[in-house]
Amino acid sequence: MRWVTAQPGRGRAILLGALPLVMLAFAYIIAAAARHSDNAADKILPLPGAMAAAMAALIFEADPLSGQYLFWADTLASLTRLGLGLGIATASTLLVGLVVGSLPPVRATLGPLVTAIAVIPPIALLPILFIVFGLGETAKVALIVIGVAPFMIRDVAGHIAALPREQVIKALTLGANSWGVMLRVALPQAMPRLIEALRLSLGPAWVFLISAEAIAADVGLGYRIFLVRRYLAMDVILPYVAWIAILAVVMDFALSRGSRRLFGWAHGAAH
């Protein structure tokens, strides 16, 4: 048996995948316990019990000042911004990517513009967005859109442009016009790629969301992390980071499953 051909079974793969996570948690607990044996008031590596207590206050108890359940308010605010940003980015990718990808004259016109926008670091545009849109929700959503849409547009347009020329010719000989080729040939084949691009954009989208919330917000997961940093409140920061990781994994998993279910032909799955 060679390493390059050794295929672990499904159960074993789950076990192997869980192993590093369990080891990481275990190592953390050992380190935290060691620090607490030296200093019972240590804040840098809080014990699980302290984290649970701190989070319980945020999850189950209303904040005396605002009357909100902060954890849920933060989650809702962040997911709304992320959802709006990714939704607008996906819709514009579908529209622009389809047109740029399937119509060579439009590609010649808009391709360089999209590339130019894509190479600008989005965070560098954040001040402009704050100046133009103010410090409200619009600027944060706009940052996510500007951050991920150009990449997605380039990816989807490139995929459509790389469809075999034969397919377009064949569609024309079947009586299609340009619109028909876009609608029945390019669009359906772009959909799985669009979901793939969206999955890859989840990471950057979170980065832009947390950045925008860290700079100017009054609610949100990123806002809370940066707020409690002032009190070295690792017992809140660590569970929040874990919660963000869980949300991101669930989104990625849902997109991946959705793509397989809706576009089985693109995944080589049996039907």
Q: Nearest approach, Cβ of 173 to another protein (angstroms)? A: 5
Q: Nearest approach, Cβ of 175 to another protein (angstroms)? A: 4
Q: Please, which contacts does 157-162 make with residues 24 or more away whose CB atoms are closer than 8 Å? A: 157/96, 157/97, 157/98, 157/100, 157/101, 157/107, 157/111, 157/114, 158/101, 159/101, 159/189, 159/190, 159/193, 160/97, 160/98, 160/101, 160/102, 160/186, 160/189, 160/190, 161/101, 161/102, 161/107
Residue number with CB closer to another protein (115 or 177): 177
Amino acid found at 262: L
Q: What is the 3-state secondary structure (H, E, C) of 89-135?
A: HHHHHHHHHHHHHHCHHHHHHHHHHHHHHHHCCHHHHHHHHHHHHCC
Q: Nearest approach, Cβ of 105 to another protein (angstroms)? A: 16
Interface residues with another protein (CB under 8 A)? 164, 166-167, 169-177, 179-180, 183-185, 188-189, 263-266, 268, 270-271
Residue number with CB closer to another protein (73 or 186): 186
Residue number with CB closer to another protein (84 or 172): 172
Residue number with CB closer to another protein (134 or 264): 264
How would DSSP label each residue in 218-265? SSSHHHHHHHHGGGT-HHHHHHHHHHHHHHHHHHHHHHHHHHHHH-GG
Residue number with CB closer to another protein (43 or 170): 170
Q: Would you tell me the crossing angle of helices 187-215 and 70-92 to the nearest 10 degrees?
A: 140
Residue number with CB closer to another protein (47 or 266): 266
Q: Using DSSP, state whether 159 is helix, strand or coil.
A: helix
Q: Nearest approach, Cβ of 87 to another protein (angstroms)? A: 24
Q: Nearest approach, Cβ of 268 to another protein (angstroms)? A: 6
Q: Nearest approach, Cβ of 265 to another protein (angstroms)? A: 5
Q: Nearest approach, Cβ of 271 to another protein (angstroms)? A: 7
Q: Residue 127 corresponds to which tokens in the numbers above?
A: 């001040």
Residue number with CB closer to another protein (68 or 177): 177
